[in-house]
Amino acid sequence: MSLENNGYPDLDEIKNSPGYPKDSRLAKGNCIVIECIQEIPCNPCEVACKFGAIKVGQPITNLPVFDGELCTGCGNCIADCPGQAIFLVNKAYAPEKALVAFPYEFYPLPEKDEIVIATNRSGKEIGKGKVIKVINPKKNDRTPVIYLEVPLELADEVRSMKDLSGKEDKQERE
């Protein structure tokens, strides 16, 4: 299992888990993907979804079961997952472009329209992305979520970005 040996899951491991939507649902646009494939006692995702799209039940070590038909893509679950294993993928965002949203708890945060380097699950730099928005509402309890526009073919791979510690922390100045 890639997760146990390397520290990151590979796409097959995730696609075979009940937290991943069908390809047909993903193609329709704005959909959550849950990359949680180990049985650990945890269920905030079930509580987070107001539309009942995520079910864990008892015992709480059950892998979350995701129903793509009920998912509206609101993204409320992203910040609530303590394992930061939930992402938003929109494959119908724009021609040849997808939108990927991921939790990001590092400073400095990027700004709207900034071009950043997108990374995949193993941390490999796989392309560039444009920051569409960065949200950090109070209810996220300090887990910002970054919405990144990436080439469509990278939608299943992009799950974070390279840190911006090289640039000056503009937030400090404000």
Partner 1 sequence: MRIINHPILGKDERKKKVTIYVDGKPISAIQGEPILAALLAQGIRVNRITKKMKEPRGLYCGIGRCTDCVMIVNGIPNVRTCVTFVEEGMRIETQEGLGQWKNKK
Partner 2 sequence: MEKQKIVKTDIAIIGAGPAGLAAAIESAKTGADVILIDENAKPGGQLFKQIHKFFGSKEHYAKIRGIDIGQKLCNEAKDLGVHLMLNTVAFAIYDDKIIAGMTPNGTILIKAKCIILALGANENTLAFKGWTKPGVIGAGAAQTMINLYRVLPGKRFLMVGSGNVGLIVSYQLLQAGAKVLAVIEAMPKIGGYGVHAAKISRVGIPILTSHTVLEAKGEKEVSSAVICKLDQNFAPIRGKEKEIKVDVICLAVGLTPQTDLARMAGCRFEYINELGGFMPWHDENMETTIPSIYVAGDTAGVEEASTAIDEGRISGIAAASSLTLINKGKAEEKILQIWERLNSLRIGPFGQNRQDAKKSLMKAREN
Among partner 1, partner 2, none, the one that 144 touches (CB under a kind-dependent 5 to 8 A) is: partner 1
Site for partner 2 in 129-148 (CB under 8 A): 141-143
Distance CA 154, CA 169 (A): 28
Is 105 a binding residue for partner 1 by CB under 8 A? The answer is yes
Q: Which two tokens stand for residue 43?
A: 């269920």
**Pick from 80, 27, 25, 78: nearest CA to 88:** 78
Distance CA 62, CA 42 (A): 8
Tell me the sheet residues that pair with 129.
Answer: 116
Smallest separation, CB 102 to partner 2 (Å)? 8
Q: CA–CA distance from 14 to each of 22, 34, 100 (Å)?
A: 12, 8, 16
Is 122 a binding residue for partner 2 by CB under 8 A? The answer is yes
Site for partner 2 in 61-90 (CB under 8 A): 61, 80-85
Q: Which two tokens stand for residue 75?
A: 């993204």
Which one, 43 or 136, has the nearer CB to partner 2?
A: 43
Residues engaged in binding partner 2 (CB under 8 A): 3-9, 35-44, 47, 58-61, 80-85, 105-107, 119-123, 141-143, 159-163, 165
Residues engaged in binding partner 1 (CB under 8 A): 105-107, 142, 144, 169, 171-172
